[in-house]
Structure 1
Amino acid sequence: MRWLIALLLSLLAAVPAAARDVVAGAPGDVSVTIYRDPYRSEGAMELNDLGGFAVVSESRRVTLPAGRHRLRFVGVVDGIVPASAVLSGLPAGVIERNQDAALLSPSSLMRAARGKTIMLNRTNPVTGKPVRAAAEIVSASEEGVVFRTAEGNEALRCSGYPETFRYGRDAEGLFAQPTLSVMVDAPQPISVKVTLTYLAQGFDWNASYNARLNAAGTAFDLGGWITLANGNSISLENAQVQIVAGRLNRSVVDRIVDNSPQAIARCWPMEKTSDITNKPDRPYVMVQPYLEGRYRRWHEGDDDKDGIVVTAQRLNAPSLSAPTPVSVFSAEAIQEQLGDLKLYRIPRRTTVAAMQMKQTRLLERSGVAYERYYTSSVYIGNRGSPWFETTIAMLRTRNDKQHALGLPLPAGVFLIDQFQFGRPMVLAEPTLRDTATDEKIELAIGSVSDVTIEHRCLKNEGAKYAMQTTISNAGTSAIQYELVIENDLDMKISDSTVPVIERDGVRMMVVTIPAESSVALTYAGTHQDS
């Protein structure tokens, strides 16, 4: 008999104990590196549709007793890619890891309580006194909540009297913040600082620049900003922030989203149905929005005296949708190399707040020399009647030390302005592509009316042709004009009043047009295979 008891005890000892939940400490040292959406152009970002991602690294204190535990990291970014999570510094072995996406909310709490007993606080319709009764939630959906009492099934808040309820136990399996959990085996009690690193979606960044031209029209002062965007519900507090410029090849990863249906405890407002008149222009709402400074105005409207909450439109209140919050601080980013990509390190720690955009200084340069020129194109193959082209004004400089630049510039939007009548006036908003050091920078200002160009075909006989282009400058200053020749490569120009040059693989004629003057360019040639 003793041997049987000893055998049973040994078998029980061999059965692993049930895993206990242990919560890691709050994030300490946080670092986030944000990668730009490779499929987004240089346009504006939208917080609810960010296609970039980030590498988040955070240190936490972990204290584990001996045994098997479910270690929870509460407050990870909700766009986390669980498969990317790497946990270092933990002597215990990691068995599995999971993203706990069931966040605590009124709907999730209601769904978790289905089939369980709640305590219903309601009013006795006969005596008018408050009473408490045990009830079981049968169903919970957008249509309402049904519960069962000793008297049968009925819908919550449909009695016409005040009704509230209280859960009898804590929400099992629900979390107030996004949580990553891992199963670990600790051979002995430990207390260590670990580092959790993971990829997270719902981030992005872009660059924007402001170029202010000087009065002489020879140089501009350049300021650059980086805009960081976090479309998640979790803020990264006091983080060391880096951004990576360049388009990284990355497979698309689906984001885990809780699409569970909403459960709403609603029926009629707090009157009997016989007391409610049909007022289509006065919609009833059960939940009053929190409007901070507008809270008192919302409640003190004349129409609120009967206890019915009216819409903001009825109160002529401002729009409830607030603009995207943007915070700004100035500290020029430090550029580093990351393989073939460029990394910009924000020099001081900052908070990348939830559902917010933040701007930080990228660069600040003075006296960037540039040249202004005008351009259009002509297609030699067009031999019809005279036609006109639009002239575009351009700014050109080079990204090198001689032009007060000389650092990689991420793609972004330029705002070009100059002082006029004592105030800055916007001239143009061109875009800049990713520009490496020593590359040419060309920014289009826009079409001009003072400079016109007319093309005319002078000769069209078989393979031979002759063209004339007349450029007129109505301005008070001389300009440099670059006429780009766009034609098939088999078209050869054998004679021209201005030499044809090739620049960056493009053929063109460059000419100076005096103020209030016109210049006629003639050029002729044949097909090369003639």
Structure 2
Amino acid sequence: MICMIAGMLFVFAPFMRSPASADVPLRRSSVAQRQSVMVIIYADFALIRDVRLLEVQRGENRIAFDDVSAQMSPETAYLADLGTGAPIAVREQDLETAVLSPELMLQRAVGHTVTVIRRVPFTGKETWESALLVSTSGPILKFKDRVETSLPPDSRIVFSSVPLVRLTPDFVVDFDGAAAATHPVALTYLSNGFSWAADYVGRVNKDDDRLDIDAFITLHNDSGLNFDNANISVVAGSIQRAQPGVVRSLGRVTVEATASNVYAVSTNRATRQPVSEFYQYSVPRRTALRTGETKQTLLLFARDVPSKLVYASSADARDFQRQDGDLAEVSVDVSMEFQNDGHGLGVPLPTGVFHLYKNNQAGEPVFIGEAAIPNTPRKEQVSLGLGPSFDIRVRRVQTDYQEIPRPDNRTEYITGYRVTVSNAKTKPVTLQYSEKLGGIWQIQNASASYEKISSDTVLWKIPVPAGGQTVLTFTVDSR
């Protein structure tokens, strides 16, 4: 058979494998013997459990598992005999990933004679010439009368046969069998090339006090291995792996996708179960996940979740030790908050990205922002930062500054502030305004009550009327 790959012409001989050991014959285990396969996907790797029906011989066995992941971590692999429950004593194991490719064809042909076919310009005729392949770099070709350090123009290399290599990666295991029998044997290993992410879609009602939520698990397979009928699940949590300075934490994973390889599947929710300090979410039925494919499955849906918009602003009154009468604009941040409890929630929420929509007056959806959420236990509050407010302004100015020497040679600072909050919206809002304080401090003459929320922070909840403003004044006595 003749095939053109990357500008080179390959003549294929029948595929053959290297001869097995003279003492222990190599036997193959193909996907036809597969009984089940389980894939548990973490942030950027996966656990694969491949169960196959094997004819185990008493004594030493040498089995080549084909169709394994080329990105397997062979040091993580182990075998288990599911028929007897007895452990399998592995003597040796080897991941063989040298699969057929143009590069491998060239590497295996070094030191051998190949044929170079050159197309003659204008006439289109082809000439055939034998050459010794000296090196793949270039490549370097030794002809009868010359040496070429690159492939001549309009030329291609022809091979007379295929080297003894495999078409797919093999995992070869030498192990001892306790008795001759046909048993289901599980090959379990870790592999790179997998990822997943949680995506949440929220729709806010017109009053910003109710939220509908759909959450999806997005799976991605870039391992080079296809799965046609797999049990698939994902694990949420921070997975510690033995690599210096590295903790694999589930976060937002960027997925490259096109319309042709993204599929929304399964209207059934993923089921969940706790495993140690993590949560495992399982796709409700067996599914296919082919290499290069991105697939989604429903995690949960929640309706009429009580929510609220929170407006917050924070300033730093630790400028009390210097005089500064300049008017300062303090940013106002907006967030959407809800409780992970009831209305279809009340379940562990894996870290992911929340996408929020709200209908305009014509009933058309408008995207209003997105925010990442951390792993969130049940009954915890979720806060989605939506950026700065358009209509609410905070202006802060220092109105008084005094330095008073004390008998203990320390200085007492009396500093006054005026904070003006304006609201251009057509409805009233409440601003959560906080100040950071330092040293030994005391608030005096505040025009509104406040809450001390930490040793250096106070909080005011300031109601602001629609189209109006509210002024807050206070003095800081500190030393």
Q: Say yes or no: TM over 0.5.
A: yes
- Is residue 2:54 matched to residue 1:62? yes
TM-score, normalised relative to structure 2: 0.79
Decide which of 355, 359, 367 is 2:296's aligned counterpart. 359
Q: Give 1:193 shift.
A: 2.1
Residues 161 and 469 (structure 1 numbering): CA distance in 2 closer, same or farther, change over 3 Å?
A: closer
Q: Amino acid of the residue matched to residue 472 of structure 1?
A: S
- Is residue 2:85 matched to residue 1:113? no
Equivalence map 1:464-479=2 (5 Å): 464-479=414-429
Residues 104 and 399 (structure 1 numbering): CA distance in 2 closer, same or farther, change over 3 Å?
A: same
Q: Give 1:214 shift.
A: 1.2
Q: Amino acid of the residue matched to residue 25 of structure 1?
A: S
Equivalence map 1:405-424=2 (5 Å): 405-420=345-360, 421-424=362-365
- The residue aligned with 2:6 is none
Residues 200 and 163 (structure 1 numbering): CA distance in 2 closer, same or farther, change over 3 Å?
A: closer
- The residue aligned with 2:24 is 19
Once the two structures are superposed, residues 392-414 of structure 1 have per-residue CA deviations (whole angstroms, 9 ceiling, x without a partner) of 2221111112x542111111111
- Is residue 2:46 matched to residue 1:32? no
Distance 2:276 2:353 in 1: 26
Distance 1:365 1:122 in 2: 66
Contact 2:210/2:306, CA 8 A, preserved across alignment: yes
Tell me the C-alpha RMSD between the 2 structures.
3.2
Q: Amino acid of the residue matched to residue 314 of structure 2?
A: S
- The residue aligned with 2:211 is 220
Decide which of 366, 370, 375 is 2:312's aligned counterpart. 375
Residues 66 and 474 (structure 1 numbering): CA distance in 2 closer, same or farther, change over 3 Å?
A: closer
Q: Give 1:504 shift.
A: 8.2
Once the two structures are superposed, residues 415-443 of structure 1 have per-residue CA deviations (whole angstroms, 9 ceiling, x without a partner) of 11111223210111122122111111111
Residues 239 and 520 (structure 1 numbering): CA distance in 2 closer, same or farther, change over 3 Å?
A: same
Q: Amino acid of the residue matched to residue 317 of structure 2?
A: I
Q: Amino acid of the residue matched to residue 53 of structure 2?
A: R
- The residue aligned with 1:486 is 436
Q: Give 1:322 shift.
A: 6.7
Residues 504 and 400 (structure 1 numbering): CA distance in 2 closer, same or farther, change over 3 Å?
A: farther
Residues 70 and 525 (structure 1 numbering): CA distance in 2 closer, same or farther, change over 3 Å?
A: same
- The residue aligned with 1:177 is 168
Contact 1:17/1:68, CA 8 A, preserved across alignment: no
Q: Give 1:499 shift.
A: 1.8
Residues 493 and 117 (structure 1 numbering): CA distance in 2 closer, same or farther, change over 3 Å?
A: same
- The residue aligned with 2:94 is 98
TM-score, normalised relative to structure 1: 0.72
Q: Give 1:325 shift.
A: 3.1
- Is residue 2:320 matched to residue 1:329? no
- The residue aligned with 1:144 is 139
Residue aligned with 1:107, SS = helix
Q: Give 1:210 shift.
A: 1.0
Residue aligned with 1:381, SS = helix
Q: Give 1:452 shift.
A: 0.9
Residue aligned with 2:106, SS = helix
- The residue aligned with 2:391 is 450
Q: Amino acid of the residue matched to residue 328 of structure 1?
A: A
Residues 438 and 73 (structure 1 numbering): CA distance in 2 closer, same or farther, change over 3 Å?
A: same
- The residue aligned with 2:14 is none
Q: Amino acid of the residue matched to residue 467 of structure 1?
A: Y
Equivalence map 1:130-141=2 (5 Å): 137-141=132-136
- The residue aligned with 1:82 is 74
Query: What residue ranges of structure 2 are gaps of 5+ in the alignment?
Result: 1-20, 245-256, 404-412
- The residue aligned with 2:223 is 232
Q: Give 1:18 shift.
A: 3.3
Q: Give 1:179 shift.
A: 1.5
Distance 1:246 1:199 in 2: 17
Distance 2:141 2:180 in 1: 47
Distance 2:63 2:103 in 1: 26
Distance 2:283 2:134 in 1: 51
- Is residue 2:467 matched to residue 1:516? yes
Q: Give 1:204 shift.
A: 1.5
Residues 65 and 425 (structure 1 numbering): CA distance in 2 closer, same or farther, change over 3 Å?
A: same
Segment of structure 1 superposing worse, 466-475 or 108-117: 108-117
- Is residue 2:102 matched to residue 1:166? no
Distance 1:237 1:504 in 2: 56
Q: Give 1:195 shift.
A: 0.6
Q: Give 1:185 shift.
A: 4.6
Contact 1:324/1:357, CA 8 A, preserved across alignment: no
Distance 2:468 2:444 in 1: 27
Distance 2:155 2:204 in 1: 70
Q: Amino acid of the residue matched to residue 388 of structure 1?
A: E
Contact 2:138/2:151, CA 8 A, preserved across alignment: no
Q: Amino acid of the residue matched to residue 353 of structure 2?
A: V
Distance 2:373 2:427 in 1: 28
Distance 2:334 2:416 in 1: 27
Distance 2:196 2:170 in 1: 25
Q: Give 1:139 shift.
A: 2.9
Residue aligned with 2:103, SS = helix
Distance 2:415 2:153 in 1: 92
- Is residue 2:367 matched to residue 1:426? yes
